[in-house]
Structure 1
Amino acid sequence: MKELTYAQAINEAMCEEMERDANVFMMGEDIAEYCGAFGVSRGMLEKFGKDRIMNTPIAEQSYVGAAIGAAMAGMRPIVELMFSDFMCVCFDELVNEAPKMRFMFGGKVKVPMVMRTAAGAGTGAAAQHSQSLEACLTHFPGLKVVIPSTPYDAKGLLKTAIRDDNPVMFLEQKTLYRTKGMIPEEEYTIPLGVADVKREGSDLSIITYGRMVQMSLQAADKLAEDGIHVEVVDLRSLLPLDRESIIRSVKKTHRALIVHEAVQFGGFGGEVVGQIADSEAFYYLDAPIRRLGALSCPIPFNPNLERETFPTVEKIITQVKSLL
């Protein structure tokens, strides 16, 4: 085993896949000499050259469209959007072109591309560079949506995403880039659509993903001091969704709290609630299903206001205790 940061794990996954497959290349704004806004592609230009690590203009619509064409022609592009908020600029390509091509051509065309992007808040980047927009992405059939919470998951899931023959949105919550974790020396992959129980428990299930996994684990540690044993389920991918793991956990604990960084109203937590309510797990519930997400307001620049906008360890603990 070796210790890597979340950013280093992503870098290693891309390097390994580019070494394995000559059709894999990377494109995005300032990813070459500057190594990207968060330094994730550090060292890749020197290793693979400008033909495979390609800087693009500040024109998301054009280079995402170019990546779709390259994927349809047999390449496997990794596209980096500097911030996930910028997906709004290329939304037509992202949801109206890439996910639909394989279906519309009767399976004769594949679109094997990965869209990597920094999502979420916590860095004082304010209202237009801090959003969590994953819920709207899951509304479009044909598009896969992945949000890893640890370096181990980030590497394994990204390698799988690059090898997938369908477009994958790979959301990296920016405050996780410097977090560290242990990773095997040998190659490994993690299948999409398989959740991971990060902590076993018997009193309540916290169903979450991304950086809220870390906060939920911290809350679970504190709750354990009071004799409350919380299970933390990390979805890892939202589409495909591991419905079975959600149901299994709720049937075990009889209570569910869904936590995500995105705005609570209209967030992905509502889909998880629906999946539980539509399953046999509903009849095991001893309390209402509850959601905890961000407030319905633009994300403030002020760090204190920004912090209050989102779920915190304290807010998670309060919700858990109210359900018990």
Structure 2
Amino acid sequence: MSKKTRLTAQLRARDTSAVIMGDMIIALVPLCVMAFYYYGLRAALLTLTAVAVSYAADMAGYAIRGKLPNPKDLSSIVTGLIVVLMMPASVPYFIVVLACLFAILVMKHPFGGLGNNVFNPAAGGFAFVAISFPQSVFTYPVPFAQLEPFGNVTAALVESPAFTLKLGGLPTYDPVQMLLGNYPGPMGATNILVILTCLLFLLYRKSVDWRIPVGFVGASALIAVLFPRIVLGAEYSVLYELLSGSLLFGAVFVVTDPVTGPKTRAGRWLYGILAGVATLLFRHFGGFEEGLCFAVLILNSLSHVMDRETTRLSRYLRRWMHGDAQLSEEKSK
């Protein structure tokens, strides 16, 4: 490949990335608005903090690497929005700052920056603070609670329905309430109807591959049916597993990251399915009620293996089918 051709390909990849990241920002904005509606000014200030810190860290990352900033690199804004929307509106500001700094300066730039990172930066940033500050990350204010814009929150904090499932209990929230986001949980990940609308937009724009979220949600639902944590029936097990926590939010905005996931169609199917299984396994046996980001980070490290092995399998199947067709043709003669 000539130098000119290689440069053209890089410029096209940057343009495509800018479009995808722009679509992601558009899809995330309604969730930011809903967070402000449920939790007031503090949610908006946390969101602005995450975006500002992520962007500043991105500029610092380019400077440290001796690279000029890419004006079309919107990924840091997407990372900041995803990180903060997976957290409670009561989370201290310094935790959001740490999560965003870790996501950009540890999970993105050391691997080469835009388009080269092995691990999903937002998943890495959230996992870092979840392990470091679980009490602050996994307790939530109820919707419409009066939260101080700055400083410590004095409102009562409670566990999410995902934690109730973790203990083997039955969540007291009606599934209809959960569809509307009227229950304690991550400030941008509870309004399921809005999240599903965002998914439709991203699918229409072809900014995400439908195979990954379908495989992820399907596998999660199957595990919920086969190994239910509540005794009311399979349908309730599926509903509460899918609607609680950040599972569906992650299915739309985290698992679908085009950089850290497989590139082949078969690889994406396998990636989505395994991510769904791993997420439910973390929920069942992990130390926290949320396991999506940990599952994604593990699967990120295997995405190239999935591409390689599914490509090898498809070639083998084509050869086998081609050879079988030739044998049938010879017999017919």
TM-score by length of 1: 0.30
Structure richer in helix, relative to its length:
2
Higher alpha-carbon Rg = 2
What's the TM-score, normalizing by structure 2?
0.29
